[in-house]
Structure formats: C-alpha cells, structure tokens
Amino acid sequence: MRRLAYGAVAAVALAAVPSPALASPLDDPSTDSFYTQSSPLLPALPHGTLLRSRPFTPLASPGTPLNARGWQIVYTSTDAHGRPIAVSGTVLVSNAAHTGPRPLIAWAAGTQGINDNCAPSHQYATGTEYEATYVQNVLARGWALTMTDYQGLGTPGDHTYLVGAAEGNAVLDSVRAARQLSGAGIGLATPVGITGYSQGGQAGGFAAEQQKKYAPEIRLKGVAVGGVAVDTLAMLNNVDGGLYSFLTPYALTGLNAAYPSLKLDSLLTPTGQTAVADARSKCLFDMFPAHAFEQSSSFTTGTPILQRPAVQALFNKSKVGLGVPAVPALIYHGVNDDVIPFTQAQQLHTSWCAKGGSVELKANATDHLTGLLIAPAMDWMAARFSGSPAPSGCP
C-alpha cells in the first residue's frame, strides 16, 4: 500500500506543480527556479516524493566527466521537528556494466559550506566537488549513488549543518526519491548501503539509526561511516582557536537554522557577525583560511557561546549513538584525528554495541583529512552486498 500511495500522490504532485522555467544545471541555485520553486502540495506529500529532476553531466573536475549518468533532483523530506521540507540532491548511475541488481550507495556528503553554491548537486555540475575523487570508487564498481544536499543547501534557507535528525532524514529520503527517477533502474529491490565521512559520518550514522522506523522499506545492507562527528560540542571545543576553528561559525549558523529561537544574530559581537556572515557566503576552501585560529569566545560578550546551556542542549540533540542501526556497521577513524578525537569513535562503538548492534571499529594511523583518502568503506560494503557475514567487534 505504501508503494501505491507514493506513486499515486507523487504522480498527482508532479502533474499539479508547473515545471520550472528552463535553466541550466550550472546556474546559481539561489536564483535557479529548479531549486527555489515552492510546492503548495508539500504538506500533503509522503516524505521522499520526487518533486522534479533534470539530467546533467556530472564532472570529476572541470572538463572531465564522471563515468556515470547524472540527475539533479528535488524531493520532499522532513526537518528536525518533523515538518515537511524540500531538499535537493544528486543521483549518479555508473556507466559500467553490473551483473544482478545494481547496488545503491546513499552517500552522505562531508562539510561543503552553507551557501547554496556549495551544494554538491551544483558542484558536480561545475566540476568542483572534492568528494568526486572518492565517488569514483563507487562508480568503478558499477554501482549507483545518491548524494543529498541536506536541508537548506541548494534549496532556500540556511543549511542546518550538523543537525543530525534533518541530515539523516534527507539521506534516507534521497533513496526513496531515486526509486522514482525514470530511467535510473533503481527500485524497491535495490540493495542499499549508507556511507559518509566527517559531517557525512554524522549524517550517515543518524540515517542508519533512524532507518528502521523512518524508512523500513529500504533494503539497507550496511552502514560504513568514518571520522564521525559523534559529539558536535566536544568537536567544536577541540578545534577552538586552532586550524579548524572555522567549523564553529558553520555549526552555529546551522544550529540557528534548525532552532531559530536561539536568535543567534542578536547574541553576536562584530567579530561574531563577520564570522557568521562569512559562513553564510563562503564554501569550505574559502572559509578555511578566513577563520582559522579564531576563538569562539570572541563571538559574544559575557558567557562564551559554546558554554551557554541553551546552545549546549541544542547541540546535544545531534549526538550520534542515541539510537542504533538495525544492520551491520563499520566505524573507521584515524587515531591521530586532529578534528574529531579517536575517543569519539570509541564512544560510538561502545554505544552501538551496548544497544545490540553489530559493529566493527577500524583504526588507522591518519589525521582527519587523510582519513578520507584510505577509507575502507567500499570494500566493506561490497562484502555486505555479496551476502558475506559482517565481522563484529562487539563483546
């Protein structure tokens, strides 16, 4: 019945909503009606309904296509409060041959930025998406892939950066939307894996924890997450004043987007206002040098922003490990991680094991950035798709 409801309601929705004016996948998402057009039917639609799609040429770098067919998509999801929203994303289907049902990876993107131009669906069109290097490992195996832009990254509003519930919902609903994409060959029988690193590790972890209740029809075979931002507040305190302190303006802006009662802008000093304005306008590689080695205590007068109980309580809502995946899980993490200490991976492993999960923790000798380079996720996921039993490090 759920499948019929999705199909019937989606068909009505797509017939009732006018097509956006002709635009290019290269256009700025903030002025591209493909991203910005609202749907009056949104509150009535099942989450995961595909609202619109358009084919595009996905690029590994400027002028170099990925070996895949690509679509930009906009679909329905729910925010951290359960309210309906529209989210954009990408679907890639490898051009390589594959025998049997083609697996689908729900790839949760790492930190991109908050401005709409930072959206992965836009950056795959311009050839500037840094994770394209790693996505090629998926495509080389003949698999398909979804990558959500998350709430507010591409579509209107600020991106709810590191707000776990909204991120996890967007990941799961991208799978539902991909199943409705004509010509993609993705269906209810498609085996699915979830993976992500850093912010994507948090998003992937939340998606896996929420899947059994939120999207039980997805044939999820496993989740492989690395460099996971298990405890956002602890991570921000760890990087405060250091090389990665630029993450704090992103995280505060994302928190305020999800919980506007925080009234972040009213709390800020001129220094804090500049940092947040830059967070809203600069993508990762521009934000990095602009706000490295910055103390978050300079963002407000009085009690430092990260020490305020209201802020701490909101960040704590996005701790990974409050639930547990119903499928095998791999956590991989660098013992020299200088952004998210290895103890966070140990904490997540302990939490998921205590809740009855099947979890393997794999340590490597990397820091945060290089941890992505040697990610073991796809080899592990291939074994899950083949039906091999998953190793578990739980007592």
Q: How does residue 96 score in pLDDT terms, banded at 50, 70 and 90? A: very high
Measured CA to CA, the distance from residue 117 to residue 102 in angstroms comes to 31
- Cα–Cα distances in angstroms (integers) from residue 333 to residues 7, 202, 381, in the given order: 40, 13, 16
- 109 pLDDT higher than 50: yes
Question: Over the stretch 124-139, which tens digit does the pLDDT of each residue have?
Answer: 999 999 999 999 999 9
180's tokens: 């409705």
Amino acid at 36: T
Instruction: Name the residue among 79, 385, 46, 388 with its Cα closest to residue 217.
Output: 46
One CATH from 3.90.1150.10, 1.10.10.10, 3.90.420.10, 3.40.50.1820 for 2-230+327-385: 3.40.50.1820
Residue with tokens 């998606």: 207
Q: Does residue 161 contact residue 151 with C-beta atoms inside 8 Å? A: no
CATH of the domain spanning 233-316: 1.10.260.130
Residues 6+ apart with CB under 8 A from 343: none
Give 308: exposed, middle or buried? Use CB within 10 Å, 0-12, 13-18, 19+: middle
Residues 6+ apart with CB under 8 A from 104: 143, 144, 145, 146, 175, 178, 186, 190, 191, 192, 193
What was the pLDDT predicted at 24? 66
> For the chain, which residues make up each domain, given as ranges?
2-230+327-385, 233-316
Q: What is the mean pLDDT of residues 69-75?
A: 98
Q: What is the mean pLDDT of residues 171-178?
A: 99
Rounded to 5 degrees, what are φ and ψ at 283? -80, 175
Q: How does residue 147 score in pLDDT terms, banded at 50, 70 and 90? A: very high
Question: Over the stretch 275-325, which tens digit does the pLDDT of each residue have?
Answer: 999 999 999 999 999 999 999 999 999 999 999 999 999 999 999 999 999
When computed from its CA atoms, the radius of gyration of the chain, rounded to whole angstroms, is: 20
- Cα–Cα distances in angstroms (integers) from residue 99 to residues 68, 184, 193, in the given order: 17, 15, 17
Q: Does residue 334 contact residue 368 with C-beta atoms inside 8 Å? A: yes
**Dihedral sign of CA atoms 52, 120, 242, 347 in order:** positive
Q: Does residue 210 contact residue 220 with C-beta atoms inside 8 Å? A: no
